Amino acid sequence: MKNVTVTMEESVADWARMEAARRNTSVSRLVGELLAEKMRHDDAYERAMREALEFRSYGVSTGPYLTDDELYDRGRGR
């Protein structure tokens, strides 16, 4: 484990102390757990985004792109 110094607003420190007491842990351990959860969440998001971008089921274009009028079916009577 690595020790670090964290600077925060007094109101945040008050909340951290109360939350740590509620969880029956130390502020240090609480901050470490919150950061670890944030890291796991961000890693999962990045992994899901990569997978989504790799999963391209749009097909391959066989001709020119549609014009705006063709795309939105403009030009037909309404």
Tens digit of pLDDT for each residue in 4-31?
999 999 999 999 999 999 999 999 999 9
27, 20 Cβ separation under 8 angstroms: yes
pLDDT at 46: 87
In this model, does residue 78 exceed pLDDT 60?
no
Question: Residue 77 half-sphere exposure, CB side, CA atoms within 13 Å?
Answer: 0
Residue 71 backbone phi and psi in degrees, to 5: -65, -45
Tens digit of pLDDT for each residue in 25-46?
999 999 999 999 999 999 898 8
**What's this model's pTM, rounded to 2 decimal places?**
0.59
In this model, does residue 51 exceed pLDDT 70?
yes
Residue 72 backbone phi and psi in degrees, to 5: -100, 15
Number of Cβ within 10 Å of residue 73's Cβ equals 8
Give me the count of residues in the chain: 78
